[in-house]
Amino acid sequence: AWTKHQVSGFKDKDGFEEEVVRHVETTLARSMFNCDESAAYSACSLAFRDRLILEWNRTQQRQTFADSKRVYYLSLEFLMGRALDNAMLNIGQKDVAKSGLADLGFRIEDIIEQEHDAALGNGGLGRLAACFLDSLASLNYPAWGYGLRYRYGIFKQEIIDGYQVEVPDYWLDFNPWEFPRHDVNVDVQFYGTVHKSTDENGKTHAHWEGGETVKAVAYDVPIPGYATPSTNNLRLWSSKAASGEFDFQKFNSGDYESSVADQQRAETISAVLYPNDNLERGKELRIKQQYFWVAASLYDIVRRFKKTKRAWKEFPEQVAIQLNDTHPTLAIVELQRILIDLEGLEWDEAWNIVVNTFGYTNHTVLPEALEKWSVGLFQHLLPRHLQIIYDINLFFLQQVERAFPNDRDLLSRVSIIEESQTKMVRMAYLAIVGSHKVNGVAELHSDLIRTTIFKDFVLIFGPDKFTNVTNGVTPRRWLHQANPRLSELIASKADGHGFLKDLTLLNKIELFVDDKEFRKEWAEIKYANKVRLAKHIKESAGVTVNPSALFDVQVKRIHEYKRQQMNIFGVIHRYLTLKALSPEERKKYLPRVSIFGGKAAPGYWMAKQIIHLINSVGTVVNNDEDIGDLLKVVFLEDYNVSKAEIIIPASDISEHISTAGTEASGTSNMKFVLNGGLIIGTCDGANIEITREIGENNIFLFGNLAEDVEDLRHNHTYGAHTVDPDLAKVFEAIEKGTFGEPQDFAGMITAVRDHGDFYLVSDDFHSYVETHALVDEAYRNQEEWITKCITSVARMGFFSSDRCINEYAEGIWNIEPLRTEEA
Ligand code: 26V
C-alpha cells in the first residue's frame, strides 16, 4: 500500500534503461559501446538522482508552504557511506535497476561498488548524524542537516609491513549526489576589531569590522526517506576566497603570487576533516572551520526565518537547532550577536530566544575530548564573540551567585572561563548555559554526565534540563541494505517490510524461533554472509579463513579506552594455550577467526602500536602449522561504512569491551545484534540497554562496573598492583620476541604494568578470557546459539534511530512530522 506514497520512480525497467542510456550518451558524452562499470555507475546514479530532485523540490515547497517548525542538525561530521544503493532502496526500485542493469550487461553489485564512500566523519558521532538524516526524512520531519564539504574525508588506511599508513581521501572527482548552489553564498568574517558607539538614548552599540572575509558556498545533498516522497536537504559549505577567483587589485599590481596564496588560504578552511576522534588539540584552523560553518548556517537559517515576516520572539517556535557535540557551540554566541548587534534586540529578549532555540547533545565524558579554546585565540580570531561570551558568563555567574550566595568554589567550578595559566573557554559549559536541553546518548552515559562532569549544572538548572536519548541506527541501511536476505526472511514472517518503518514489529519473528525451516534459512544466510566476508578477507588481507569457524569481530576506531589491546592480548593467550596442548587435545578446540578493523588517529602513537601488534600476531599465528584453522587473526584495512556493510552481517560474536563508563553509547553494538550476531561486552554504554531488551542469557557480559572504576584506579596508584597471571604470560611471550621485536610493543605493556593501567586491562583480563570460553561452549551448541540470535533480533525494535528521532522531536525540538500530500 505504501507504493503510492513514495518518490515517483521509473515506470518499469525499460523506462530505467532509457534514462541510463540517455545519460551515458548525453550527460557523459559516451557511447554505450564503451560504457564501462564506472560510466554505468555514473549514469545509473544520474538517473536515480533525477527522480529524487523532483520530490526534493516538492518537499521543500511543502515545508515552506506549511510554515511549520523546522529542525536544523548542526554536525561537523556526516559519515554517509554510499548513496546509490540507499537511494534505490529508499525509493523502492532496486529490483527495477537490477534487471535493467542486467539487460545492459552489468551486475548491480559491481555497479554499486564503483561508488566512493562519502566519509565526512570519524566514527560513531558522524555515522549517528547520517542515521538521523535517514530517520528524519523517513518520518517526514521538516529537517535540514548543516555541515562542511571537506575536500578530503577521513584518510584511507593502508597497512604496509604491519603498520598503518595514511593516504589522502580525495573523493570529489565525480560526485553526482551534490548540487553546487553558487547563488547561495555567505561572507564570513574573521579577525579585525570591535568599536563601540553610543546612540542618542545613551545605548551602546558594538560594531565588528572583520579583518578577513571568506566566502561560504552551499552544496546541497538530497536525503531520500524510505517509502515516502519526503526528500530532505543536507547543506554542506565549501570555502572560497571572497573576492572571486583572484584579487584583481593584487593581480593588476603584479602581486600574482600573493593573490593565489590568499585564495588557497581561504580554501584551506574546508579542505580536510580532522582525523582525531576523542582528542581535542586546540588548533586555530579547527576553530576557524567551526565558526565558518556556524556563521554560514545561521545566516541561512535566519534568512529563511525572516522571509516569514514573523516577530523575533516567534523564532523558537519556528526553529530548533541541535548541536552535535560542542563543535557548533559558537552558534549560540553567533545568534546572540545577530540579535543584539545586527537586529537591535535587548540582551534579555535575545538570550531568551537563543536558549529556547538550542539543544546540546554530549557524546563523551573523556576529559581529553572536551573542547576548550584559549581566550587569546578567541580575542584574535573572533573579538566580538569573546565579549559576548564574557557577558553570557557574567549574567550566568550572577544568577548562580543569587541562588548560591558566597559559594566562590562553585562559581569558579562552573565559570565558562577557566581561570588557568592560559585562560580557556569551556565550550561544553557554554553549550549547557545556552541550551534549553542537554542530553546524553545512552542511559548510563546520561547518568554519568548528571553525576560527574556536569553535576554542578544539575544543581543550578534543576534536573529537567538534563535528559537521555538513547542512540539508534537506521534499519534501512543496517538491515535491509547490508543484509538483504535476512531482511527478506524477516519480511516473510513479519507480514512484509513494515518492520523497516516500525522496528518493534521485529517481535513477530519470535513466534518462529522453533520453526525448523525458518531456523535453517537463518543459518544459511549467516553462512552465506560469512562466505562473502571470507572472500573479502582473502582478497584484501591474503588470509584464507574457514567460514565454519566462529567469526569474532572488533571493528571501530582504535583507542585505548575501546581496548583492542585487551582483545589481542586475549588472542595471544588463546594461541599460547593451543600451543601448549597436544595435537589430540587441540582438536577439541573450536576454530576461531579474530577479525579487527579500524583507523588510528595519525598522531596517536599507542593506537598505531596496537595495530602493529595485531598484524604481527597475525603473521605468526596464521603461518603456524600446529594451529591451522584453529585460530586466524586478520586486520582488515581501511574500515569504513561500506566495509561495515559486509563485515557486520557476517559476525558471530562482536566485541564491545570498553572500560566501563568510557564508551558513551556505541552504535555498532546495535548493528551487530540486529544482524543476528551476539555480543561480548562490558556493562558500558548502550550494552546495558541492549541486555535489558534482549535478555541477559543472550549476551556475554564481563568485567568491572563503572561504579568501581575510580577505586580500582586509585588502588593501581597507591596500592599493590600486580598484573593478572595469565596476562603476565602474554607479556612474557611478547617480550621473548614471539611476535617480532619486543621493543615495538613495549609501550602497550608498560601502560598496563608500570603506568597505572588506566583502562583496567589487567583487572578485566581474567573475566574476559573466561567469558570467551563461555562463548566457545555456547557456539558448540548451534541449536541454542541460533535461538539466542533469533530471539535477540526479535527484541531489537527499540534501537531504531526512528524511535530516537521521535524522542528528540517530542522531548527537545517540539516538532511534528509534516503530512505528505497522499497521507
Ligand atoms: C571529536 C573530535 C573530532 C576531531 C577533532 C577533535 C575531536 C574532539 C572530540 C570529538 C568528540 C568525539 C565524541 C564521539 O565521537 N563520541 C561517540 O559518539 C557516538 C555517538 O553518540 C557514541 O556511540 C560513542 O560511544 C562515542 O564515543
Q: Tell me the three-class secondary structure of 327-394, residue by residue.
A: CCCHHHHHHHHHHHHHCCCCHHHHHHHHHHHEEEECCCCCHHHCCEEEHHHHHHHCHHHHHHHHHHHH
Statement to judge: residues 557 and 420 lie in one domain: no
**CA 697 remoteness from chain centre:** 29
What distances in angstroms separate CA 792 from CA 196, 521, 626, 781, one per listed residue?
64, 17, 36, 17
Among 507, 510, 553, 548, smallest CA distance to 681 is for 553
Among 255, 281, 286, 231, smallest CA distance to 61 is for 231
Amino acid 390 reads Y
Q: What is the pLDDT of residue 51?
A: 93
C-alpha cell at 547: 567460514
663 lines ligand 1 (CB under 6 A): yes
Statement to judge: residues 186 and 332 lie in one domain: yes
Q: Which residues pair with 195 in a beta bridge?
A: 207
439 lines ligand 1 (CB under 6 A): no
362 lines ligand 1 (CB under 6 A): no
The protein residue with its alpha carbon nearest to ligand 1, atom 10, reads 278
Please give the average per-residue pLDDT across 487-514, as a whole number. 98
277 lines ligand 1 (CB under 6 A): yes
369 lines ligand 1 (CB under 6 A): yes
Statement to judge: residues 123 and 62 lie in one domain: no
Band of residue 261 on the pLDDT scale cut at 50, 70, 90? confident
In a domain, 529, yes or no: no
Band of residue 282 on the pLDDT scale cut at 50, 70, 90? confident
Residue 387 maps to which CATH number? 3.40.50.2000
Statement to judge: residues 721 and 580 lie in one domain: yes
User: How confident is the model over 76-118, as pLDDT tens digits?
Assistant: 999 999 999 999 999 999 999 999 999 999 999 999 999 999 9
Atom of ligand 1 nearest to the CA of 445: 25
The answer, yes or no, to whether ipTM is higher than 0.85 is yes
In a domain, 377, yes or no: yes
User: How confident is the model over 185-210, as pLDDT tens digits?
Assistant: 999 999 999 999 999 998 899 999 98
Band of residue 2 on the pLDDT scale cut at 50, 70, 90? very low
Contact call for residues 215 and 241 (beta carbons, < 8 A): yes
The protein residue with its alpha carbon nearest to ligand 1, atom 23, reads 666
In a domain, 745, yes or no: yes
Statement to judge: residues 714 and 751 lie in one domain: yes
Q: In what order do the strands lie in the sheet with 550-555?
A: 631-636, 592-597, 550-555, 653-656, 678-681, 700-701
Band of residue 4 on the pLDDT scale cut at 50, 70, 90? very low
Residues 6 or more apart whose Cβ sits within 8 Å of residue 360:
322, 323, 326, 329, 431, 432, 434, 435, 437, 438, 439
In a domain, 526, yes or no: no
Q: Which residues pair with 189 in a beta bridge?
A: 213
Band of residue 6 on the pLDDT scale cut at 50, 70, 90? low
Give residue 436 CA to ligand 1 midpoint distance, Å: 22
Statement to judge: residues 342 and 288 lie in one domain: yes
In a domain, 164, yes or no: yes
Atom of ligand 1 nearest to the CA of 274: 4
Other beta carbons within 10 angstroms of residue 38's beta carbon come to: 13
The C-alpha atoms of residue 450 and residue 429 are separated, in whole angstroms, by 13
Give residue 364 CA to ligand 1 midpoint distance, Å: 6
276 lines ligand 1 (CB under 6 A): yes
Would you name the residues annotated as active-site residues? 363, 556-557, 562, 667, 671
What distances in angstroms separate CA 766 from CA 577, 592, 711, 763, 772, one per listed residue?
14, 19, 19, 7, 10
The C-alpha atoms of residue 651 and residue 536 are separated, in whole angstroms, by 14
Band of residue 254 on the pLDDT scale cut at 50, 70, 90? confident
Give residue 121 CA to ligand 1 midpoint distance, Å: 10
Expressed as residue numbers, the domain containing 695 is: 543-793
Q: To test the ligand 1 pocket, which listed residue (272, 278, 370, 808) has its Cβ within 8 A of the most ligand atoms?
A: 278
Residues 6 or more apart whose Cβ sits within 8 Å of residue 643:
536, 555, 597, 636
In a domain, 349, yes or no: yes
Please give the average per-residue pLDDT across 264-291, as a whole number. 92
Statement to judge: residues 159 and 87 lie in one domain: no
Statement to judge: residues 105 and 126 lie in one domain: no
In a domain, 558, yes or no: yes
Which of left, alpha, beta for 660 (phi over 0: left; psi -120 to 50: alpha)? beta
Residues 6 or more apart whose Cβ sits within 8 Å of residue 236:
78, 120, 146, 147, 148, 149, 178, 218, 219, 220, 221
Contact call for residues 630 and 589 (beta carbons, < 8 A): yes
In a domain, 476, yes or no: no
User: How confident is the model over 353-388, as pLDDT tens digits?
Assistant: 999 999 999 999 999 999 999 999 999 999 999 999
Please give the average per-residue pLDDT across 612-634, as a whole number. 98
Give residue 181 CA to ligand 1 midpoint distance, Å: 30
C-alpha cell at 272: 580536510
Amino acid 218 reads A
Is residue 772 packed enough to be buried (19+ CB in 10 Å), middle (13-18) or exposed (0-12)? buried
Statement to judge: residues 619 and 676 lie in one domain: yes
User: How confident is the model over 26-58, as pLDDT tens digits?
Assistant: 999 999 999 999 999 999 999 999 999 999 999
Give residue 813 CA to ligand 1 midpoint distance, Å: 22
Give residue 411 CA to ligand 1 midpoint distance, Å: 28
The protein residue with its alpha carbon nearest to ligand 1, atom 6, reads 280
The conformation of residue 719, written as its DSSP 8-state character, comes to S
Round the average pLDDT of the chain to a whole number and report it.
Answer: 96
C-alpha cell at 34: 564503451
The C-alpha atoms of residue 516 and residue 636 are separated, in whole angstroms, by 35
Atom of ligand 1 nearest to the CA of 325: 11
242 lines ligand 1 (CB under 6 A): no
366 lines ligand 1 (CB under 6 A): no
C-alpha cell at 732: 612474557
Contact call for residues 235 and 218 (beta carbons, < 8 A): yes
Is residue 4 packed enough to be buried (19+ CB in 10 Å), middle (13-18) or exposed (0-12)? exposed
C-alpha cell at 107: 551486475
Among 555, 537, 558, smallest CA distance to 546 is for 537
Other beta carbons within 10 angstroms of residue 461's beta carbon come to: 17
User: How confident is the model over 718-763, as pLDDT tens digits?
Assistant: 777 899 999 999 999 999 999 999 999 999 999 999 999 999 999 9
Statement to judge: residues 213 and 109 lie in one domain: no
What distances in angstroms separate CA 462 from CA 436, 455, 458, 487, one per listed residue?
11, 10, 5, 44
Statement to judge: residues 14 and 144 lie in one domain: no
Number of compact structural domains in the chain: 3
CA neighbours closer than 13 Å in the CB half-sphere of residue 727 = 25
Statement to judge: residues 52 and 150 lie in one domain: no
